[in-house]
Amino acid sequence: VCVISCDNQGKEAYYSNRAGIAHLWSITGHGGDYYTDGGVLSVESNGSYLRMQGTSMACPTISGGLALIMNKFLNNSNYPSMTPQLCIDRLFQKSTYEGLKAGSSDSNNILVKTYNRGKFTEYKDVSELTLEEKQKIFGYGKMDLEAALQEMDSDQFQELVDFSTERDKNIANLSAKIKSTTNKLMNSLDKERILL
């Protein structure tokens, strides 16, 4: 699971990588942003508190959420077919783009991001983005733990299984494309080497 970071208002954190090609296994979590929300309250090794920012703050939020999902659904007699992988898929299935805002480095192309460790000057609400743009920036969106922890009836459980199957298929297709592109590149490099 890859984690993208946002502030407490859903604004993309300037320092965070975007999901990009890893969008099929990425989710967004609150990691703070010194410029917009002052960071996330964390604990120092001496026991005092300080504000920090980073995916190092967002990842424990997602991990904790996943732990709660696993605690609820694994080894639960109501969900005898639940697996750890389905718990991860539940996390992705119930995430949301609602309230997220993408930082803008280029007003003509939201997918262009300048990684200069400087704050964003403007943000674009996700409602203005295509699904592909949302995915490439935020993965499946921001974790919605309340939705993920809701009980499932048999139809909803089947929807989760179908979501998981489709996600696996999409990952396999992406992997095949990457392998094909890599093989073409390596073959091209081999031909160049022979010519030299």
Instruction: Give the predicted TM-score (pTM) of the model.
Output: 0.84
Name the phi and psi angles at 51, rounded to 5.
Answer: -95, 135
Evaluate whether 69 touches 90 at the Cβ level (below 8 Å): yes
Name the phi and psi angles at 102, rounded to 5.
Answer: -85, 135
Specify the pLDDT at position 190. 61
Evaluate whether 73 touches 44 at the Cβ level (below 8 Å): no
Alpha-carbon dihedral angle through residues 112, 115, 118, 119, given to the nearest 10 degrees = 40
Q: Enumerate helices (H) and strands (E) in the chain, giving the number of each.
A: 5, 6
Other CB atoms within 10 Å distance of the CB of residue 74: 13
Cα distance between residue 169 and residue 149, in whole Å: 25
Residues across the chain = 196
Rg (CA), the chain: 20
| Chain segment 122-157, per-residue pLDDT in tens | 899 999 999 999 999 999 999 999 999 999 999 999
| Chain segment 3-58, per-residue pLDDT in tens | 999 999 999 998 999 999 999 999 999 999 988 899 998 888 899 999 999 999 99
